[in-house]
Amino acid sequence: MQRYAIGIEFCGTHYRGWQTQQAGVVSVQETLEQVLSKVANHSVILHGAGRTDAGVHATNMVAHFDSPSDRTDHGWVRGTNSQLPKDISVQWIKRMNDDFHARFKANSRRYRYVIYNAPHRPALLHKQVTHIHTPLDFLAMQQAAKKFEGTHNFESFRAAACQSNQPIRHVSHCTLTQHGPFMVLDIQADGFLHHMVRNIVGCLLDIGQHVHDEDHIDTIFAALDRKAAGMTAPPDGLYFIQAGYPEIFDLPQVALGPQWLNWPT
């Protein structure tokens, strides 16, 4: 039995998130498992580095599976991609020792959220970015984003349906950059709560539209109540871009996404 790690890129628009759900609900995980099972000629179970909401995308979701089937790495990738729908693609595969686990060995997760701030909606980036047509105060949003760095209780920033046992998370960086009409939030933490990134972005959008000033973030943290925070931003602009692992696993280093998403922070 051989363990394999794979890197997956997907457009989440037509899926109800990463995780397999009840019958009749299409997920990325289930779609991949069905195809990998055909290639392996046995039932395959995938374990992902994290979960994504419905409509959220990924440029390098890491997952693993076990198989006794004898396939070349090229055979696994080409065979799987030839049968996957066009909005899911395996980017790489690597043979791992049994002590690797895509979820439990990951020590960080990283997301990017892309806002397109322009008067008119984009056509070519439909469902790939979140469009805000009113002008946003970038500097105010950039300063407010820094308030999320460090160790905090994110109770006010998680969904009511969040199943995590505790809301304490350490955010190693939370930076907002501007590239023409695009604003890109880059955030990395030891873990994320349900809707955490989208709720953070919702609060930043309120600040960018001068509904609140940046100090309002402190008030939201202190409230420990989801009702104290603003709207949940749409899933369209959210990308899972990286899972961090100890260097001993030596996973492939890949670009954070297509050129327009791979901006420096």
Mark whether 170 and 202 lie in a shared domain: yes
Q: What confidence tens digit (pLDDT) does each residue in 57-99 have? A: 999 999 999 999 999 999 999 999 999 999 999 999 999 999 9
pTM: 0.93
Mark whether 41 and 114 lie in a shared domain: no
pLDDT at 259 over 70: no
Place 46 in a pLDDT band, splitting at 50, 70 and 90.
Answer: very high
pLDDT at 137 over 90: yes
Report yes or no on 259 lying in a domain: no
Into how many domains does the chain fold? 2
Question: For position 89, what pLDDT does the model report?
Answer: 96
Containing domain of residue 9, as a range? 2-105
Mark whether 83 and 149 lie in a shared domain: no
Report yes or no on 34 lying in a domain: yes
Q: What confidence tens digit (pLDDT) does each residue in 105-134 have? A: 999 999 999 999 999 999 999 999 999 999
Mark whether 226 and 121 lie in a shared domain: yes
CATH number at residue 217: 3.30.70.660
| DSSP secondary structure string for all residues of 79-105 | HHHTTS-TTEEEEEEEEE-TT--TTTT
pLDDT at 45 over 90: yes
Question: For position 260, what pLDDT does the model report?
Answer: 66
Classify residue 37 as exposed, middle or buried by CB count within 10 Å of its CB (0-12, 13-18, 19+): middle
Averaged over 144-167, what is the pLDDT? 93
Report yes or no on 227 lying in a domain: yes
pLDDT at 30 over 90: yes
Spatial distance between the Cα atoms of 248 and 46, rounded to a whole number of angstroms: 22
pLDDT at 265 over 90: no
% helix / strand / coil in the chain, to the nearest 5?
25, 30, 45
CATH number at residue 83: 3.30.70.580
Report yes or no on 126 lying in a domain: yes
Mark whether 126 and 82 lie in a shared domain: no
In this structure, the number of other CB atoms found within 10 A of the CB of residue 81 comes to 15
Mark whether 53 and 126 lie in a shared domain: no
53 is catalytic: yes
Q: Which of 53, 186, 206, 236 is catalytic?
A: 53
Task: Name the domain boundary from 79, 105, 131.
Answer: 105
Report yes or no on 261 lying in a domain: no
